[in-house]
Structure 1
Amino acid sequence: MTATDPAMTALAQSWCALSLLHGQIESRIEKALQSGHDLSAREYSLLDVLSRQHSGPGGHLQMKQVADAVVLSQSATTRLVARLEDRGLLTRYICDTDRRGIYTDVTEEGRALLTAARPTNDAALREALDEASRNPELAPLVRAVEELKVPA
Structure 2
Amino acid sequence: MTVPQQAARPTREQLAAWRNFLRAHARITRSLEAELVAEQRLSLGSYDVLLQLAEAPRRRLRMAELADAVLLSRSGVTRLVDRLERAGLVARERVAGDGRGVVAALTERGLDTLRTASHTHLAGIVRHFVAHLDAAELAEIGRICGDLADQPE
Do both share a fold (TM > 0.5)?
Answer: yes
Are 2:72 and 1:72 aligned?
yes
Q: Hey, what's the Cα distance between the residues in 2 that align with 1:2 and 1:66?
A: 34
Asked if 1 retains the 8 angstrom alpha-carbon contact of 2:130 and 2:138, the reply is: no
Give the count of matched residue pairs. 140
Q: How does 1:54-73 map to 2 (within 5 A)?
A: 54-55=57-58, 60-73=60-73
Q: Hey, what's the Cα distance between the residues in 1 that align with 2:92 and 2:84?
A: 11
Q: How does 1:29-68 map to 2 (within 5 A)?
A: 29-55=32-58, 60-68=60-68
| Higher percent of residues as strand | 2
For residue 3 of structure 2, what is the aligned residue in structure 1? none
Compute the TM-score of the two structures, normalised by the length of structure 2. 0.79
In structure 1, list runs of 5 or more residues that go unmatched: 134-139
Among the aligned pairs, what percent are the same residue?
Answer: 29
When the two chains are superposed, the root-mean-square deviation of aligned CA atoms in Å is 2.9
Q: How does 1:1-152 map to 2 (within 5 A)?
A: 1=7, 8-55=11-58, 60-130=60-130, 133=133, 144-145=141-142
1:63 CA displacement: 1.8
In structure 2, list runs of 5 or more residues that go unmatched: 1-6, 148-153
Compute the TM-score of the two structures, normalised by the length of structure 1. 0.79
Q: Hey, what's the Cα distance between the residues in 2 that align with 1:112 and 1:141?
A: 30
Q: Hey, what's the Cα distance between the residues in 2 that align with 1:128 and 1:146?
A: 19
Q: Secondary structure at the match of 1:103?
A: strand
Change (3 A) 1:63 1:2: closer
Asked if 2 retains the 8 angstrom alpha-carbon contact of 1:132 and 1:142, the reply is: no
Q: Hey, what's the Cα distance between the residues in 2 that align with 1:30 and 1:142?
A: 25
Change (3 A) 1:149 1:76: closer
Quick one: higher RCO (CA 8 Å, sep 6+), 1 or 2? 1
Amino acid at match of 2:55: R
Q: Secondary structure at the match of 1:26?
A: helix
1:35 CA displacement: 1.0
